Amino acid sequence: MEALIIHAPGDLRVETYETPPVGPGQLQVKVSAGGICGSDLHYFHHGGFGTVRIQEPMVLGHEVAGTITVVGEGASGFKAGDRIAISPSRPCGQCRYCQEGLQNHCLDMRYYGSAMRNPHVQGAFRQELVIEAWQAHKLADHVSDEEGAMVEPLSVALHAVRRAGALMGKRVLVTGCGPIGALAVVAARRAGAREIVATDMGDFALRKALQVGADQVINVAEDPQALQAYSADKGHFDVLFECSGNEKALRGALDALRPRGIIVQVGLGGEMTLPINAIAAKELELRGTFRFHEEFAIGVDLLNKGLVDLKPLISASLPYRDATRAFKLASDRSQAMKVLLNFN
Amino acid sequence: MEALIIHAPGDLRVETYETPPVGPGQLQVKVSAGGICGSDLHYFHHGGFGTVRIQEPMVLGHEVAGTITVVGEGASGFKAGDRIAISPSRPCGQCRYCQEGLQNHCLDMRYYGSAMRNPHVQGAFRQELVIEAWQAHKLADHVSDEEGAMVEPLSVALHAVRRAGALMGKRVLVTGCGPIGALAVVAARRAGAREIVATDMGDFALRKALQVGADQVINVAEDPQALQAYSADKGHFDVLFECSGNEKALRGALDALRPRGIIVQVGLGGEMTLPINAIAAKELELRGTFRFHEEFAIGVDLLNKGLVDLKPLISASLPYRDATRAFKLASDRSQAMKVLLNFN
Amino acid sequence: MEALIIHAPGDLRVETYETPPVGPGQLQVKVSAGGICGSDLHYFHHGGFGTVRIQEPMVLGHEVAGTITVVGEGASGFKAGDRIAISPSRPCGQCRYCQEGLQNHCLDMRYYGSAMRNPHVQGAFRQELVIEAWQAHKLADHVSDEEGAMVEPLSVALHAVRRAGALMGKRVLVTGCGPIGALAVVAARRAGAREIVATDMGDFALRKALQVGADQVINVAEDPQALQAYSADKGHFDVLFECSGNEKALRGALDALRPRGIIVQVGLGGEMTLPINAIAAKELELRGTFRFHEEFAIGVDLLNKGLVDLKPLISASLPYRDATRAFKLASDRSQAMKVLLNFN
Amino acid sequence: MEALIIHAPGDLRVETYETPPVGPGQLQVKVSAGGICGSDLHYFHHGGFGTVRIQEPMVLGHEVAGTITVVGEGASGFKAGDRIAISPSRPCGQCRYCQEGLQNHCLDMRYYGSAMRNPHVQGAFRQELVIEAWQAHKLADHVSDEEGAMVEPLSVALHAVRRAGALMGKRVLVTGCGPIGALAVVAARRAGAREIVATDMGDFALRKALQVGADQVINVAEDPQALQAYSADKGHFDVLFECSGNEKALRGALDALRPRGIIVQVGLGGEMTLPINAIAAKELELRGTFRFHEEFAIGVDLLNKGLVDLKPLISASLPYRDATRAFKLASDRSQAMKVLLNFN
C-alpha cells in the first residue's frame, strides 16, 4: 500500500508502506478520507512547531475514516464492510493520568502522526491501517466518509466546549474561525449557547462561521475596535473560545468579557504578553484545552443523529496523490476551511 | 376588563376586574395568550396542593404573553405595540437570597397566581395587566403569542437542565412526559445531550416527546421492566430528569443510572420512599429544582432565534370564556399537552 | 498464623490461616492493630446487611496497620521494619470506572473482608498479610499503629467531605456521631468549616464530637425540636453530613438546611420516606458517598503532619483473642467509639 | 479628630478631619488599629498604581478595627463598647453583579481609601469612623484589635482560596510570601491542603511562611532551579497561589504544576509574557481573584474560634503620628510582614 510521508519541510512523498498483521482485538481498515490538520500543515511547511521537529520520515495524518476489511480475533461488534471513524488517540490506560480519567494527559500517549516522541508515532494518511477495535466508531449510512474524518477536529472542539462548563444560556465569543474555531461555533451552539459572536481576519472564514451557527461575525482586520461595543458594564460575554493563537485576539477580547468570564485557550500561539491585572481584577479564568478523550464517541453520536452538520466546513476532497496541491489549498484561508484527501 | 377567578374547587368564574394605573417603570399590557399550568389545574380541581389552599378569590395564571398598550414613564426600550412574553416572577431584590443570585428562593417573592402567601398574589389570566418593565421580554415576529406564553414552562425546564450541570455528551433519561417533561426533552437536547430516553404511562405524551427530540420512548405502563435493559455494569444514564413526581418512576430509574449519576427532581409528588443505600453506594445525586430566574430571558432568546421549537407541544387554544372546558381538556393527558386560553 | 473468621452470626473464631507467598511488587506485613467497623459488627450480629450475607467462612476486618517483614521483588520504596497503614481497597484498574478515576465504583473491586462477591474477599484481621506495595502507606514515628488503623474510616470521612465540595466558610451539620460521624467532624473542621453542629441520641458520642472539633452538640433524644432554631429564613446550614442512616435524622434536618443546601448521605439505612417536595422546592442536593480512593493517602499525610488528631476517638485496644468481647464493647455506643484489636 | 491623608507621593500628613453625623442603621466607631496594605504603600511611594492616580487629597487605609462609641437608630445587635473588625467594602446591592452575588464586581463599589473613582472614596486611617452596621463584625475577647485589623487581608486570602475550589487533600504551591502570600498559606492549610510549599526571594518572609503552616520553603533567589524537582511526570502541584505579581515566579512554576492544575493569580503585576502553549497543553487554569465579599464574616469567625492564628504575621504597631516611619518599615520586606498603626 501507499502512505504520505513527510521527510523535510516541503518534502512530502507518496511511498510504499507495509501493512502490519492483524492481531487479536484489532481491525484492518481501508482508509478512505483523511482531513489535513493545522499540525500537518506545520510539519509540511516548517518541519514541526514549537520545540517539536521531525527527526525521521513520518507518515502524516490523524483525521481519518474508512471501511473495515479484516476483523481480528475477539474484536466483537464489528464486521468487514462497516464504515468507521478512527480515533487517533491511544493512551496507555495504566499511568496516573489514565487512572484519573485524564487520558489526554497520558504519560505514554501514542497519537497518530506526531513527532512529539521518538521514534515518532506514524500517522494515518495511508491506504491501510491496523487499529485497536476501541479506536473504531461506526458511522450511520447518511454520514459520508469525509464527515467521518471530521470527527477528530470536532472532538477537539467538543472537548474545548466541555472545558468551559455548562453553556446553556451563555453568551459566547469565538476568536479565530479556522476549522477548530468554526467547529467551536458548532459545538457551542449544540451545547445551548444563547448568543455566539465570531471574529476573524478573513471574510471566507466568517461566512463559514455564520453558516454553521454564529449569530454575528466581525472582521477584526476591517474593524479592529468592533468588540469595544461589548465592554459596557464590565463586559458582555460569559465565555471566550480563543481559537486563533494570536495575542492580539486574546488581548482585544478581555474588555468584552464580563467578570468571572471563562477563556478557553484552544489556539496554540507561543508566547503571549497579557495584562494580568485585568485578568485578576475581573476574576477571569483562562483554561487550557488539549485534544480530547471520550468526546470522539460523542462526536460520532452527534453526527450519526444529525445533531451537528459539518458539511459546510468541507471545502474540498483531493486524491492523496495530489497531496502537495491539497496541502497548499489547505493553507489558503481565503478559500479553504477543511481540505480532505481521498485514499480510494 | 375581565379576569378568570377561582373561588373554590371547580368554581372558576369570569369576572370584572379593575386595571391598576400605570406607574413609572411600568407597562400596561393587553394579554393575548395564557397557558394552563399543572398548578392552575390543582387550584381548579382541589383548591390547592400540599399545604397550600386558596383562602380568598384569586385570579389564576402565570404563563402569559401579550401586547404593550401603555408605556409608563422611564420604561425605556419599549413602545406600544410590542409583543412580549411576561415573566410572572417578582423577587424582592433585597433579601439574602436575592443578594446571592438565588432569586427563585427570595424570602419575599410575589409570583403570579399563587396562594402560597396571604393575601394571595393575584394571577395573570386577565385581559389587561400592569407589569414592571423588567418583566417584559420582546418576541420576534415569527414567534406567536401562544409560543410566547410557553416561555414560562420552558424556563422551568431550562432551569432544571442547568441544575444538572453541563449536558454536552451526556446520556439523559426523562421520566414523565407532561408539559414540563416534554420541555425537559427540548432543553436537554438543546443543551447537547447525546442520548435522550423518555418514559411515561401514556402514548400521547410519548409521541410528543419523540416529536420534540427524544431518541427513544418507553411506555412503562405497558412494559414496566424496560428500563432494566439499561442496568448492566451499574447503569447507563448520566442524568435523570424525574418529571412525574411519582415514587415508582424514581425508584424504577435508579438501577439505570450509572455511579455519580445526577437526578434532577422536577416533579412534585409528596412523600417518596427511597432505597437510600442504593443512592449512597452509587454516589447518586438527587437535586431539587424550583422555578427559574434568568432562564426566562434565555428562553425568549432561544425561541426568537429558532433554537427551540415548542409548537408541537401546543394542543389547543380556547377562548378564556370557555375556561372550564379548557381546564378539563388540559386535565386529559390522553389528548392534551399544553392548553392555552385566548384573551383576545 | 491466626486469623479472626466469622462462620455465622455470633460465631467468630480464632483459627489458623496460611500466609501466602510474597510475589513481585508485594509486601509481607505483620499486622499489629485492626479497627472494628460497623460492617464487621453487622457480620458479627446479623451475618451481613441488606442483601449481603456470608455464604462461607470469611476473615473479617479492613482497618489495619502493621510492620513490613518481607519486601517482594521490585516493591521499591519500602524496607522491612517500615510501619504502615494498609488500604483494603483493591480496584481492578481496567474497568470503565477505574479508567474514569472512579475506582470506588470498580466493577471488579476486591475489598478486604467483604461478602459482596462470591467467593468472599477474605479480610485483614490476621497476624500476617501479603499486600500489593501500592496498598502500603508509611506512618510517621509519632503516629501509633492504632492511629494508623484509623486511616481507613478517616478516608471514608474525607471522601464524604470531598463529595460536599469546598467547605471553607461553610456551616455544617452532622447527624449521628458514631465513628464515621465523629470523623466527619474532624474532616469538615480540617476542610475549613466555619461552624459545625453535631447531633446524636447519646451523650458519650456527643462528648467525643465536641472533643474533635464540633462547635456545638445537640442530644436529639432529649431535645427533638432543637434543630428548629435553625429554620428561620429558609434554613441555616450549607451542608449536612447524615451519618446516622436514620430517616428521622434526615427528615428532621431538612428545615435547618438553607436553599441549595447539600446533604451528603454517609449512613446506610435502608428505605427512607422523604418529603420530596421540600427537597425540590429548596433545591437541596442529596449526594451519596461510598468508601474512598485517593483519600487513603491523604489521610496518612494529614495524620503524619499532625493536621488531624484521631486519638480521642480510640476507645480501647483489646487482644485479638478477646475478639468477641471487643466486638461487644464496640457495639455499645454508650461507652465506645472505635475499638481496636491488637494482633501482637 | 485626625486622619492620615496622602497629598502626593511621599507627602502623607496627619490632618484634622470632620466626623460625620450618625444616621439610622449606622455606627460611630473609635478606630484603634489599622494595617498598612500594599496599595497604601503604592499611594505613598508612587501616588497610585497602574492607571490609578490620586487626583485629590485622600485619607488612606482600609484594614481597620475599633470600638463602637455611638449606635444609630435601628442598628440592632450592637452596643457601645463592642470591639469590631470593619469591612471596607460597600457594594451598591442593586447592580447586575450585586444581584448575582458577585458584590466584589459591583458597578458602584465604594471601597475605603481607593482612588479608582472620582471623587475618591476616603479611607479609614482616622480616629473616628461612621459605618453602616453591616460593615461591623464583633471580635471575641481573646482577639486583639491588631488581629481584627488583619481580617481584611485574611479575607482576600480566603477569597483566593475559595476561588481555587476544594483544597482538601490538594498539593499547594505559594509563590511570594508577603502578607497576602503568608495569609494564603494560612487559608490553604485551614482549607485542608495536604502539602504546602512556599517560595520567596527573602528569608524573613519564608520564615514567617513556615511559622504559619508551610511544610517547606524555597528561597528562589538562592536556588532558582529548586522547583524543577517537582516537574517529573508532568508536574506535582494541584494549585498555585501566585502572590508575587512577578512574571518569573509564574513562569517558573508552570512545570511544577500537574495537568489541570489551577493557578490563582493573587498578585497584581502588570503585563506578563506567558507560554500559552504550555498552559493550553497541560490544560492549566489561570483564575483571577479580586478582594472578597462574604469572606470577611468568615474570617472573623475563624479568628474568633481560634481556627487561624495571625499573630506571627504582625511585625509592629506604631502610633499613627509616626505614619511615615511606619510606611517605611512596612516597605522593608527584610524585616516586616504586616505593620499596623495605632490610633489610640
Q: Convert the pLDDT of each residue in D304-338 to its tens digit.
A: 999 999 999 999 999 999 999 999 999 999 999 99
How far, in Å, CA of A89 to CA of A292, rounded? 8
pLDDT (average), residues C232-258: 97
Stretch D150-167: mean pLDDT, rounded? 98
Helix axes A38-46, A323-330, angle to 10 degrees: 110
CB neighbours of residue B222 within 10 Å: 9
The Cβ-side half-sphere exposure at D336, using a 13 Å CA radius, reads: 18
Q: Which residue of D has its CA nearest to B96?
A: D101
Model pLDDT, residue A304: 98
C-alpha cell at D175: 509563590
pLDDT of the residue at D93: 97
Q: Does residue A61 surpass a pLDDT of 90? A: yes
Asked whether the predicted pLDDT for residue B44 surpasses 90, the reply is: yes
Question: Residue B231: helix, strand or coil by DSSP?
Answer: coil
Closest partner CB to B272 (pick from C107, C265, C276): C276
pLDDT of residue C108: 97
A284-321 pLDDT per residue, tens? 999 999 999 999 999 999 999 999 999 999 999 999 99
Q: What is the pLDDT of residue C303?
A: 98
- The pLDDT value recorded for residue D148 is 98
Query: Which residues of chain B neighbour A167 with C-beta distances below 8 Å?
Result: 166, 168, 191-192
Residue C105 pLDDT greater than 90, yes or no:
yes
**B256-267: average pLDDT:** 98
D268 neighbourhood in chain A, CB within 8 Å: 276-277, 280-281
Task: With a cut of 90, say whether residue A49 has pLDDT above it.
Answer: no
- Please tell me if residue C101 touches chain A, with a CB cutoff of 8 Å: yes
Contacts of D279 in chain A (CB under 8 A): 265, 286, 288
Residue C49's pLDDT band (cuts 50, 70, 90): confident
Strands A63-71 and A58-59: unpaired
Q: Are C159 and C289 in contact (CB under 8 A)?
A: yes
The pLDDT, as a whole number, for residue A50 is 80
Rounded-to-integer distance, Cα C296 and Cα B21, Å: 67
Q: Which of A265, A271, A279 sits opposite D280 (nearest CB)?
A: A265
Average pLDDT over residues C130-135: 98
Question: What distance in Å separates residue A74's CA from the closest CA in chain D?
Answer: 34
pLDDT confidence band for C51 (50 / 70 / 90): confident
What SS3 state is found at A189?
helix
- For D295, the closest of C169, C215, C302 (CB atoms) is C169
Q: Which of C93, C94, C101 has the CB atom closest to A101's CB atom?
A: C101
Instruction: Mark residue A104 as left, alpha or beta (left: phi above 0; alpha: psi -120 to 50; beta: remaining).
Output: alpha
Residue A258's pLDDT band, with cuts at 50, 70 and 90, is very high
Reported as a single tens digit per residue, the pLDDT across B121-140 is 999 999 999 999 999 999 99
Number of residues that make up chain C: 344
CB pairs under 8 A between B and D: 16
Residue A37: what pLDDT?
97
Q: What pTM does this model have?
A: 0.98
Angle between helices B38-46 and B323-330 (to 10 degrees): 110
Model pLDDT, residue A268? 87
Nearest to C234 among B105, B272, B274 (CB): B105
The H-assigned helical ranges of B202-339 are 203-211, 247-254, 276-281, 295-304, 323-330
Q: Is C158 on the interface with D (CB under 8 A)?
A: yes
Q: Which chain A residues in 164-223 lie under 8 Å from chain B, judged by CB atoms?
A: 165-169, 187, 189-192, 194-195, 215
Report how far residue C289's alpha carbon sits from residue D276's, in angstroms, rounded to the nearest whole number: 38
Mean pLDDT of all residues in chain B? 97
The grid coordinates listed for D181 are 502570600
pLDDT value at residue C336: 97
Tell me the pLDDT band of C218, cut-offs 50, 70 and 90.
very high
Give residue-wise pLDDT tens across range A131-177. 999 999 999 999 999 999 999 999 999 999 999 999 999 999 999 99
| Maximum distance among all Cα pairs of chain C, rounded to whole angstroms | 63
Q: Contact A45/A332 with Cβ under 8 angstroms? A: no
Q: What is the mean pLDDT of residues D19-40?
A: 97
Q: Are D181 and D187 in contact (CB under 8 A)?
A: no
How far, in Å, CA of B169 to CA of A187, rounded? Answer: 11
**Three-class secondary structure of residue A323 per DSSP:** helix
Query: What is the average pLDDT across B101-128?
Result: 97
CA distances from C125 to B110, C136, C308, D205 (A): 62, 16, 25, 49
Tell me the per-residue pLDDT of D134-154, one tens digit each, with 9 for 90 and over: 999 999 999 999 999 999 999
pLDDT of the residue at D206: 98
Contact D100 B101 (CB under 8 A): yes
Confidence of residue C269 (pLDDT cuts 50, 70, 90): confident
Question: Among B50-54, B75-79, C165-169, D311-315, which is the least confidently predicted range?
Answer: B50-54
Model confidence pLDDT, tens digit, residues D281-312 = 999 999 999 999 999 999 999 999 999 999 99
C168, C194, C293, C305, best to mutate vs chain D, most D CBs in 10 Å: C168
Task: Judge whether residue B43 has pLDDT over 90.
Answer: yes
List pLDDT tens digits, range D206-260: 999 999 999 999 999 999 999 999 999 999 999 999 999 999 999 999 999 999 9
Task: State yes or no: pLDDT of A329 exceeds 90.
Answer: yes
D269: pLDDT confidence band, cut at 50, 70 and 90? confident
Q: Measured between CA atoms, how close is D33 to chain A, in angstroms?
A: 27
pLDDT on residue B270: 85
Q: What percent of chain D has pLDDT over 70?
A: 100
Does the CB of B163 have a partner CB in chain A at under 8 Å?
A: no
Q: Does D268 touch chain C (CB under 8 A)?
A: no
- The neighbouring-strand residues paired with D338 are D314
Question: Residue C176: what residue type?
Answer: G
Check residue D270 and give its pLDDT.
Answer: 85
Contacts of B272 in chain C (CB under 8 A): 273-274, 276
Between A233, A269, A280, which is nearest D288 by CB?
A280
Chains that touch D (3 or more CB pairs under 8 A): A, B, C
Please give the single-letter amino acid code of residue D245. G
Taking the C-alpha atoms of residue A58 and residue A88, their distance in angstroms, rounded to an integer, is: 15
CB D32 within 8 A of CB D145: yes
Among B237, B234, B232, B231, CA closest to B215 = B237
- The answer on pLDDT for C270 being more than 90 is no
CB burial readout C25-46, b (16+ within 10 A) else e:
ebbbbbbbbbbbbbbbbbbbee
H or E segment and range at residue C326 = helix C323-330
% residues pLDDT > 90 (chain D): 98
Q: How confident is the model at residue C148 (pLDDT cuts 50, 70, 90)?
A: very high
Q: Pick from B168, B191, B307: which is nearest to A158 by CB? A: B168
Instruction: Please give the pLDDT value at position B284.
Output: 98
Tell me the average pLDDT of chain C: 97
CA distance A107 to chain C (A): 14
pLDDT digits 0-9 by tens, B270-301: 899 999 999 999 999 999 999 999 999 999 99
Give the chain D residue whose CA is nearest to the CA of B97.
D101
- C93: contact with A, CB 8 A cutoff: yes
- Specify the pLDDT at position B329: 98
Which residue of chain D has the CA closest to C302? Answer: D194
Q: Cβ-count burial of A75 within 10 angstroms (0-12 exposed, 13-18 middle, 19+ buried)?
A: buried
Residue C333: pLDDT over 90: yes
Share of chain A above pLDDT 70, in %: 100
Min Cα distance B97 → chain D (Å) is 9
Can you give the C-alpha Rg of chain C in angstroms?
20
Buried b / exposed e across D325-340, counting CB within 10 Å, b at 16+?
Answer: ebbebbeeeeebbbbb
Q: What is the pLDDT of residues A69-92, one digit of tens each?
A: 999 999 999 999 999 999 999 999
What residues pair up with C63 in beta bridges, in sequence order?
C35
Rounded CA separation C34/C339 (Å): 9
Q: D20 preceded by cis ω (within 30°)?
A: no
Residue B93: its chain D contacts at CB < 8 A? Answer: 94, 99
- Rounded average pLDDT over B33-39: 97
From CA B342, how far away is CA B125, in angstroms rounded?
10
Least Cα distance to D19 among D31, D7, D37 occurs for: D31
